Amino acid sequence: MDEFILIKEISLYVSLICAILLLIVRLYKRVLAAENEKRSLEGLVTSLLNKYSNRDSILSHYVFDTRRGIYQHKVNGQLYCHKCLLEKTHESPLETQTAGWSCPQCGSFYRNPDK
């Protein structure tokens, strides 16, 4: 009888150990997934920091014309797309149209307030 009780207790402990091991494996998988997500987010943060550091450097070469809503290059006077400079960090010269200026990259149109 004592052996039967001992075997039953051992069986219970084995079941508990298996359940604990299963939980450990699940937690380990979650840790691995979290580490992968962390690496991905760190890459995104680095990318954004580089983008906005680069953007500030690019914008230092321009003056924003609030009346027209566009940027003008400080040296050559060329007009540039506000949306492309701010959102894409891309220097896109505007094309002159009859009633304003259009961006060949994103399609934005800036109306000339003088016309």
Which tens digits make up the pLDDT trace of 15-58? 999 999 999 999 999 999 999 999 999 998 888 777 767 777 88
The maximal CA–CA distance of the chain, rounded, in angstroms, is: 104
Between CA 107 and CA 89 the distance in angstroms is 16
pLDDT tens-place string over residues 60-79 = 899 999 999 999 999 999 99
More confident residue, 89 or 58: 58
Q: 98 forms bridges with which residues in the sheet?
A: none
Determine the pLDDT at residue 54: 72
Between CA 14 and CA 4 the distance in angstroms is 15
Residue type, 109: F
Determine the pLDDT at residue 56: 78
Determine the pLDDT at residue 1: 62
